Structure 1
Amino acid sequence: MKNFLIFIFTICIFLNFYSQNTYAFFGSFNRDKDTEGIYVYELDTIRGNLSKITTFKGILNPSFLTLSPNGKYVFACTESKTQNGGSVSSFEFNPENKSLTFINKQKSGGENPVYLTVHKNGKWLVNGNYTEGSISVYPISENGKIKPYVQNFQFAEGSINPDRQDRSHIHSAVFSPNFDYIFFPDLGADKIRTYRFENESKQPLQNAEIPFTKTTLGSGPRHFTFHPNGKFAYCIEEMGGTVSTYSYENGKLNNLQRINTHSDKYKDDFESSDVHISPDGKFLYASNRGKENNIAIFSIQNDGKLKTVGYQSTKGKHPRVFALDPTGKFLITTNAVSGDVVVFKRNSETGLLKKVGKKIKIKNASSIQIRKY
């Protein structure tokens, strides 16, 4: 009887493990509402293969995606790179019937929305508009519907590069580990803008004691992430081809280090793009587009500083955005120009990457989010 109960218990654990599915959500610059814009694939967490589950048409240029904390809703920057356009859209994802259903959309409050983030309570959506440099804040209904924005801040000042920094260009929006502050890297102004976030207020963005952190002139801060321990933050600088390391406490950033994302053979025309940290906090990954088309790999030291480990080709062109799965076992990159997606298996000891699975084609692939259900 005892052995039988152990057998039943083991079977239950086995079935529960395999009832969990990991999905990857991809956005694209589809340029045409009559073509597919959002793609959902299932990730084989053993072999690293991707299998198409569903797609969605009828939207234009869903350039960046983010998920609600419970994974029920997908939010997208839509009508990106559309003159006099720009919107944010909401979708419901049902993992049981593997469907993606449009809910609604709102004006982005600016041209060319490029980044979305959701508060941990699922009630607030924050958007960054690149072209003219603005941010918008939206309440989210319980049914995933986006309400009209309640705040919209416009910035104007640029920096030293007249071709790229004639004015503000907000490129991302990232909450602090405690969700009491939010940070906006501004590529055009060479600043990381900071606001307090009071989630119980009708207008949650409030002035911070330190309203911005200056970055190196001409560096072009782009994407931003926090270490799992909450003590360090990292900003990838598109124009500088660098990552800056900061210590973090109560809304304040203190620069610790600035390190190249590229090898010595590259001297200019950098297009550094995205940055993520492995769930174990041991390695940081940074993507380089343009001439390089690779992922720079860094080990993270105890003091938060980075040490270069190596570089991994993305097997395609223009790795705009990439992501790690929740376990940290896989890294998936979107190559926008070559129009493909590549899966890499991550060595948790060395941080190095190895291509696995089969490359899939997604025209102008621009964004990815990964979640286990």
Structure 2
Amino acid sequence: MKLKITFLSFAFLTSFHAFSQNTYVFLGSYNKDKTAESIQVYELDSLNGNLIKITSAKDIINPSYLTVSPNGKYVYACTDTKTPNSGSVSSFEFNPENKSLTFLNKQGSGGENPVYVSVHKSGKWLVNANYTEGSVSVHPLLENGKIDSIAQNFQYTDGSVHKERQTRSHVHSAIFSPEFDYVLLPDLGADKIRCYRFDETLKQPLTETKNTFTKTDLEAGPRHFTFHPNQKYGYCIEEISGSVSVYQYESGSLTKIQRINTYSGETKGVLESSDIHISPDGKFLYASNRGKENNIAIFSIAKNGILKNIGYQSTFGNHPRIFAIDETGNFLIATNVNSGNVIVFKRNPKTGLLNKTGNEIKMENVSCVQIKKIQ
């Protein structure tokens, strides 16, 4: 009887371990060397946080930001970033069974230095933000995953008060609303969060709203934005000021209810605050600081959306540009551009705090991470 129980237990554990191996980590980089593995894909062991490399892609320049299609079949990247008079968005087909990442095509991004790309829940539209001259482009997506030519492009010229960083518009991200019926565009250069209605049935899906933008504090530098799972609140990280602004959200409209620093009181000046994410349970918010602190600020979220700082976690590297939380909420993975290392943290669901797992990989100029569970 003891042998039978042991065998059944072993079978169960083996089955559970196999089931846990369908979460993938996609890494992009600032890499002008076409012979380098500029995109790398790893399998995340959801039991211990180990990363197992399965494939990569070459022959592309600076795939600095990535996103994965809702069905997990395609990867879309901002490419030719930080390249004068250039900028593109590229598509790849991901096949986990064959362990392959195959280049499909690329299109001009409609502006120089694309920095963010989002895909509509239908998988039929792609929106990308171009930083340098401040613009947003919309591309149809074909059934085979390829990117079609630009359907819409809006460019902006207004700036704000910071003499070095805000001489003109710098759109830094393009975020779909929870219902995918609006697109929010944090504009670092203009101190605005622009907003458009998005109608997926139209050939040109972006249409203007009554309130075309929300004005942020001066010299804030809005960069990235995330929504609470309850869809009532939105959170914008501000790069120049090193702050997070909290908004009540309703049908494309934002009303600010709080502003809180992302950095410790010991640090002053521009913090280069970068990325922002909320745990799947909606209880904790995480925000990364580059440069002087190189850490992730951790906040608890009250029922009314208000943030309270509960700690900081070093990213054990230099310049944590992008991080991601897996769909279970068990792991947070941070990318450090200047030190070229990727760190896996175990997240405590009760306290929100992070612990280093000991799992680390090296990737030169690593700039982005996305995590996707694929059934």
Counterpart position of 2:340: 339
AA of the residue aligned to 2:18: Y
What does residue 41 of structure 1 align with? 42
TM-score by length of 2: 0.96
SS of residue matched to 2:15 = helix
The residue type equivalent to 1:80 in the other structure is: T
- CA offset at residue 17 of structure 1? 6.4
d(CA) in 2 for partners of 1:173, 1:113: 11
Alignment-derived partner of residue 185 in structure 1: 186
Q: Is 1:176 aligned to 2:194, yes or no?
A: no
Q: Verify: 1:255 aligned to 2:256, yes or no.
A: yes
Match of 1:358 in 2: 359
Unaligned runs of 5+ in 1: none
1:18 positional shift: 2.1
Are 2:350 and 1:349 aligned? yes
2:152 counterpart of 1:151? yes
TM-superposed deviation, 1:358: 2.4
Matching residue of 1:322: 323
For residues 120-139 of structure 1, the aligned pairs below 5 Å read 120-139=121-140
Q: Closer, same or farther in 2 for the Cα pair 1:252/1:13, shift >3 Å?
A: farther
Deviates more, 1:45-54 or 1:255-264: 45-54
- 2:268 partner SS: coil
The C-alpha deviation readout for 1:228-256, integer Å capped at 9, x for no partner, is 00000000000010000000011100000
CA contact (8 A) 2:334 2:343 kept: yes
Q: Return the alpha-carbon distance in structure 2 between the equivalents of residues 168 and 113 of structure 1.
A: 13
User: What is the TM-score when the length of structure 1 is the normalising length?
Assistant: 0.96
Q: Amino acid of the residue matched to residue 344 of structure 1?
A: F
Contact 2:280 2:329 in 1 (8 A): yes
The answer to whether the 8 A contact 2:246-2:256 is kept is yes
Root-mean-square deviation (CA), in Å? 1.6
Partner of 1:161: 162
Partner of 2:79: 78
Counterparts of 1:80 and 1:103, CA distance in 2: 18
Q: Measure the CA separation in 2 of the matches of 1:17 and 1:104.
A: 36
Deviation at 1:11, TM superposition (A): 5.8
Contact kept? 1:317, 1:337, Cα under 8 Å: yes
Q: 1:139 to 1:16 in 2, by over 3 A?
A: farther
SS in 2 for 1:331: strand
Paired residue type of 1:352: L
Tell whether 2:22 aligns with 1:21: yes
DSSP-derived class of the 1:66 partner: strand
8 Å CA contact 1:50, 1:357 repeated in 2: no
2-structure distance, mates of 1:32, 1:162: 34
> What's the CA shift string for 1:143-180, capped at 9, x where partnerless?
00100011010000000012100000000010111111
Q: Which secondary structure does the structure 1 equivalent of 2:173 belong to?
A: coil
1:231 matched to 2:232? The reply is yes
- Counterparts of 1:337 and 1:12, CA distance in 2: 43
Provide the identity percentage. Answer: 65
Moved more, 293-302 or 15-24: 15-24
CA contact (8 A) 1:47 1:357 kept: no
Q: Secondary structure at the match of 2:42?
A: strand
Matching residue's letter, 1:358: N
Deviations along 1:126-150, whole A, 9 cap, x unmatched? 0000000000000000100100011
Aligned to 1:287: 288
Give the number of aligned pairs.
368
**Cα distance in 1 between the residues matched to 2:237 and 2:303:** 20
* Alignment partners' CA distance in 1, 2:18 and 2:284: 28
The whole-number CA distance in structure 2 between the counterparts of 1:11 and 1:182 is 47
Counterpart of 1:117 in structure 2 is 118
Amino acid at match of 2:350: E
How far does residue 47 in structure 1 lie from its aligned partner after superposition?
1.4
Aligned to 1:296: 297
Q: Measure the CA separation in 2 of the matches of 1:351 and 1:118.
A: 29
AA at the equivalent of 1:221: P
Cα deviation for residue 45 of structure 1 reads 1.2
SS in 2 for 1:18: helix
Aligned equivalents of 1:238 and 1:355: distance in 2?
25
Q: Which amino acid is the alignment partner of residue 316 of structure 1?
A: G
Counterpart residue type for residue 125 of structure 1: L
Question: What amino acid is the match of 1:239?
Answer: I
Residue 72 of structure 2 aligns to a residue in which SS?
coil
- Aligned twin of 2:95: 94
Contact 2:248 2:255 survives alignment (8 Å): yes
Gaps of 5+ in 2: none
Q: Deviations over 1:235-289 (max 9, x none)?
A: 0000010000000011100000000000100111211000000000000000000
Q: Name the SS of the counterpart of 1:15 in structure 2.
A: helix
Contact 2:17 2:47 in 1 (8 A): no
Deviation at 1:16, TM superposition (A): 6.7
CA offsets 1:332-370 (integer angstroms, 9 cap, x no match)? 000000000000000000000000032110000000110
- How big is each residue's C-alpha offset from its partner over 1:311-339, in whole Å with a ceiling of 9 and x where there is no partner? 00000000000000110000000000000
C-alpha distance in 2 between matches for 1:326 and 1:48: 13
Structure 2 distance, partners of 1:25, 1:98, is 13
Does the 8 Å contact 2:181/2:198 carry over to 1? yes
Distance 1:249 1:21 in 2: 35
CA distance in 2, matches of 1:161, 1:23: 40
